[in-house]
Structure 1
Amino acid sequence: MKIGRIGSFTLALAIVICAVFSLRVWLIPADNKPDTTVALITKNRPNPGLMPDFSAINDVAAKKQAFFDFLRPTVRQQNAIIADERRFLESSLANLENAHPLTEAEEFRIRKIAAKYQYSSKFYDAKTLTRLLKRVDIIPEAMVLIQAANETGWGSSRFAREGLNFFGQWCFSSGCGLVPLSRNDNMNHEVKVFNTVEASVASYMRNLNSNAAYSLFRSIRADLRSQNIEPEAEQLIYGLVNYSERQEAYVDELLDMLRHNEQFLVDTHAQTPAA
């Protein structure tokens, strides 16, 4: 079929227009911006697969054992970090007491550890290192596990499930955590959200080792250390009187839980040495 000049021109123009339109569509970037509503909802929410569903375990004894077994490795990991820091400080203190000045590297690490535990000093000598050592010390495993069980209802609380918060730690900036359903209108705190179990346990330990509210806890521990007595949960729980507004009743409850759950505090996965 023949096409006249006008027809040919029209056809060519149509082809050009289609080509330009296709090129324009190809060059325009797709709108890949995330939905801000979804982003706000998912902000600071940990992966739900990080923690077992303890509420689904109907057998009470099995639930208790599972909860302790879940947290125990992280508690030991964080205590190992603190123990390493403490050994370093003790070594530095021994050097000072033997008239060996701190090296630049030693002083750098000391200042880093001091900042972690919210302790500041213009200079570090034997006296200041002794004070710092009062903060840099491990926390008995049994005490950590019992308090976590108390604060979370054996891992079934909303704050544990949605925020990996096992110790009821608060934060005070909007969006930093989960808003308690029972929060009064005149209060602005939230229950802090953690991205990992390690971060949650580390924050709790750092809180006990640095917050002024727990100076009694640290004093009891340091006093036991001075007598060459290894601090244990039953002794140090008395130092948690300011952890809850219930104070003495809270301490009594923790002590009662400690005594009634001794069998579950035993590490059932510990390997016994071969005979």
Structure 2
Amino acid sequence: MKRIIIFLSLFSLAFAGFDESYYKLPSEERRAVFFAKMNTLLDRSFAKVAKDRAFVKFFLENSAKNGFRESEGLIKLASLREKYRVKNLFSWQEYDEKMRLVPKSLAMAQALIESATATSRFAREANNLFGEWTWGEKGIVPENRAPNSKHKIRIFDSLEESVDSYLLNLNRHFAYENFRKKRYEFAKDGREFSGLEAAKSLHSYSELGGSYIKMVSQVIQKYKLMEYDLKTQSPLIKW
């Protein structure tokens, strides 16, 4: 019976968000559905990063032959440069360092913690799975926000948009430069950049600092999320 419930939940959630039936599931089954959903969402986001990366690599390699005179390609390249906050428009190394994926085990563990397995107020009302802040108008004011703080919890139109934003945040924000450097070094050395290794470089993600890193690592190990890294069928893993 449990397998049937989980299967039906996975089927209904494959291309949608978490509905009320999800929240009625026992915690173990809900967690299984959550990880399956995150796996799907991450694959979609990975595909978008791969598409961006493929365009930049192709354009830089081929357009150099004609002096980068292709206007439409240059416009798109400039757009991606702004998106990923690359300084040098024609520097493949800068794009190469930033246009990469994140270990699934890391993303899943952070999403579970930040959203309380998608049961938190911010996950349900704002589709916010990673606790992202905003200082714009579109946001939810946290109940325990400090008196002098101005941040809000960012509202996303979908869970997929939240995952896209999470990846982009790690790939371009200055606070995660060390994360990107370590990821790049591992890739160049042909070593796997695991979720446990990646977590060590995320001191800036939470005000909890080292305690947060320990928490993320414990979740990865407890639920054996490393297996999702091994099952990822994507050339991005080899970057």
Shorter-chain TM-score range = 0.7 to 0.9
Tell me which of 111, 116, 125 is aligned to 1:162: 125
Q: 1:29 corresponds to which residue?
A: none
Tell me which of 155, 169, 175 is aligned to 1:193: 155
TM-score (norm. length: structure 2): 0.80
> For the residues of structure 2 that align with 1:61 and 1:225, how far apart are their CA atoms?
35
The Cα shift of 1:264 comes to: 9.4
Deviations 1:106-137 (A, max 9, x none): 4332212111112243x52xxx2211221111
SS of the residue corresponding to residue 71 of structure 1 reads helix
Letter in 2 for 1:85: D
Q: 2:3 corresponds to which residue?
A: none
Which of the two has higher C-alpha Rg? 1
Unaligned runs of at least 5 residues, structure 1: 1-48, 271-275
Q: 1:142 corresponds to which residue?
A: 105
Q: 2:115 corresponds to which residue?
A: 152
Distance 1:85 1:173, change over 3 A: closer
Q: 2:212 corresponds to which residue?
A: 250
Partners of 1:117 and 1:206 within 8 A in 2: yes
Partners of 1:65 and 1:264 within 8 A in 2: no
Unaligned runs of at least 5 residues, structure 2: 1-15, 233-239
Partners of 1:68 and 1:265 within 8 A in 2: no
> For the residues of structure 2 that align with 1:102 and 1:173, how far apart are their CA atoms?
37
What pairs up with 1:93-242 in 2 under 5 angstroms? Answer: 93-95=60-62, 101-104=67-70, 105-121=72-88, 123-124=89-90, 128-174=91-137, 176-242=138-204
The Cα shift of 1:100 comes to: 6.5
Q: 1:86 corresponds to which residue?
A: 53
Letter in 2 for 1:113: L
Deviations 1:148-175 (A, max 9, x none): 001111111110011100000001134x
The Cα shift of 1:103 comes to: 4.7
Deviations 1:39-69 (A, max 9, x none): xxxxxxxxxx8323444222x3212111111
The Cα shift of 1:203 comes to: 1.0
TM-score (norm. length: structure 1): 0.70
Report the number of matched residues: 213
SS of the residue corresponding to residue 200 of structure 2 reads helix
Letter in 1 for 2:216: L
The Cα shift of 1:266 comes to: 4.9
Q: 2:44 corresponds to which residue?
A: 77
> For the residues of structure 1 that align with 2:176 and 2:83, how far apart are their CA atoms?
16
**Percent identity between the two aligned chains:** 24
Distance 1:101 1:224, change over 3 A: farther
The Cα shift of 1:143 comes to: 1.4
